[in-house]
Amino acid sequence: MIAAAKRVLMVLGVLWTAAAAAAGGPPDNPRTFALDNGLRVVLTPLPRAADVTVNLSFAHGWERDPGGRSGLAHFVEHLVCTAATPSTPARDPDRTMKGWNGQTLRRWTYYSLTVAPDEVEGAVRDAAERMDALDIRPSDIERERGRIARELANMHGGQLALGAVNHARALADRLPEGAQRGGDIGQIRAITLEEARAFHEAYNRPNHAVLSVAGKFDGAAVETLVRERFGAIAPGGAALPPVRPAGERALGPGHQALAKAGGGFPDGPPHAAVAFAMPAPDSPDFAAGLVLSAAAQQAAVKTGKMSMTRQTFPPFLEHAPLLDDHVLCLVEPADDAEKPTADPLLKWATEHLTGLDEAEFTAAKFAAPGMYGLIFGLTPQDPRAFPQVNTFFIAITRARQAHFPVDGPKLMTRLAGLTREEVNAVAARLFAAERAGMAVVMRGGAEKGGEREAPGR
């Protein structure tokens, strides 16, 4: 999983779509069709774009990793991005990955390549070969084990802010026993070449996939190209079942974890985080959750925690529904380096996210469709009318809509009918202290992990 991509997408999803809501334009009509093998295709020609993004995504993520193999989908994602194909040798991720991106999310995984308009034919060919003709070798397994080990170390403590976020998330939205976001490195090291190949050949297939192309290209020509390159690829078997039943929300007890991490990035102050599980799209509270997310962003700006014009790292607030992430997280350096605690963040959430007054509620309710309109189809925004076009964002948005469709008009009606009392009732449940995942990550020499009750709780 590429954390930087997640941060970029979160910022784009909030700032860029909100600004674009005023652009107007005719309703957006991307070309959608399906091949006989089950591949769903979304083509979004954007004449004003400077490039083209080809996004290939699959309907499985870390939530569907088999027992004892936490990180299998993430590991195979690395291999799909870097292993050889008939047209491309194995890639050195640090030197030959220009334009590439990939992420393993809760319920889906994507691979994305952004190229110049005259390179779209090669990008579509590359996507088809990575689906059907990937040559995974022992050297790929060893290389990616090392890369993923470093990535997981950063995710869970090497980067203090990122570590705090992930520890808090793990408490607020628990995974099955033995599983971890991004994967458990011990279980990943046990994955064999044969297992990786078998997973790819069974599940990275057309009937589990969406191909989304956005940018400056000729729609008819690319449709012909897609049919030629992908049409003969055989479908796979049944989809992976989720390890946890769909819709189950196993929430943390609200206690605070203290993790010590060594190595990684330069020393810095301890970082604290608090996380809350947010309603998923199939929840009756989803619309209220979007309003509360908008309220959280407005409160963060109002209190000086965030800026709408300047990106900071770590961002104080993370909530990325585009990425199927149903957790809202707050993170910042701990106030007291000697006795670090996440209590001030919980206090901030209680003060600013519960008991919205009429002005706060009205502003958030008005802002939510603009912030999430393009992601969930709430408004007839047309990327062709935008003065600047981010093809990566458009491609991944279209892919998400294809995998997990949301009834935009129905959601918009629900948003319009929300009352302040209803939203505040949902907020009182969502942001209750007993539902908060709270964590602190600090430097601890060579020691890594080691959670315990933190002081102050």
Q: Which of 341, 336, 332, 338 is nearest to 454 (CA)?
A: 341
Give per-residue pLDDT as tens, 68-101: 999 999 999 999 999 999 999 998 776 556 788 8
Give the per-residue pLDDT at 372: 84
Task: Give the model's pLDDT for residue 323.
Answer: 76
- The answer as to whether 452 is a domain residue is no
Give the mean pLDDT of 250-274. Answer: 65
Range(s) of the domain holding residue 324: 256-381+406-443
Domain ends where: 175, 196, 230? 230
| pLDDT-wise least confident of 287-291, 327-331, 380-384 | 380-384
**Is 55 inside a domain boundary?**
yes
One domain for residues 214 and 308: no
Same domain as 150, residue 260 = no
Supply the pLDDT for residue 148: 94
Which residues, including other chains, have CB under 8 Å from residue 28's CB and lie 6 or more apart?
Answer: 44, 380, 381, 382, 383, 384
Report CA-CA distances (Å) from 1 to 103, 110, 184, 388. Answer: 4, 10, 13, 27
Q: 292 and 437 share a domain?
A: yes
Task: Tell me, yes or no, whether 283 and 211 share the same domain.
Answer: no
Q: Is residue 455 part of a domain?
A: no
Lookup result for tokens 């981010």: 390
- Asked if residue 22 and residue 87 are part of one domain, the reply reads yes
Is residue 152 domain-shared with residue 26, that is, in the same domain? yes
Residues 143 and 94 in one domain: yes
142-177: pLDDT as tens digits:
999 999 999 998 888 788 888 899 889 888 887 777
Give the pairing of strands 209-215 and 40-45.
Answer: parallel
Query: Which of 1-5, 197-201, 227-231, 337-341 comes out lowest in average pLDDT?
Result: 1-5
Work out the pLDDT band at 322, boundaries 50, 70, 90. confident
Tell me the one-letter amino acid at 456: G
pLDDT at residue 113 greater than cutoff 90? yes
Give the pairing type, strands 271-277 and 327-333. antiparallel
User: 118 and 179: one domain?
Assistant: yes
Same domain for 262 and 224, yes or no, is: no
The residue out of 179, 196, 230 marking a domain boundary is 230
Sheet strands side by side (includes 271-277):
256-261, 437-443, 271-277, 327-333, 317-318
25 and 154 inside one domain = yes
CATH number at residue 430: 3.30.830.10
Q: Are residues 210 and 268 in the same domain?
A: no
**Overall domain count for the chain:** 2
Residue 247 lies in a domain: no
* Tens digit of each residue's pLDDT (9 = 90 or more) over 18-61: 434 333 333 346 899 999 999 999 999 999 899 999 999 999 99
395 inside domain: no
Quote the mean pLDDT of the chain.
84
**Does residue 433 form part of some domain?**
yes
Q: Tell whether 245 is covered by a domain.
A: no
Judge if 328 and 284 occupy the same domain.
Answer: yes
Does residue 72 or residue 446 have the better pLDDT? 72
Examine residue 386 and state whether it is found in any structural domain, yes or no: no
Report the C-alpha gap between 389 and 378 in whole angstroms: 19
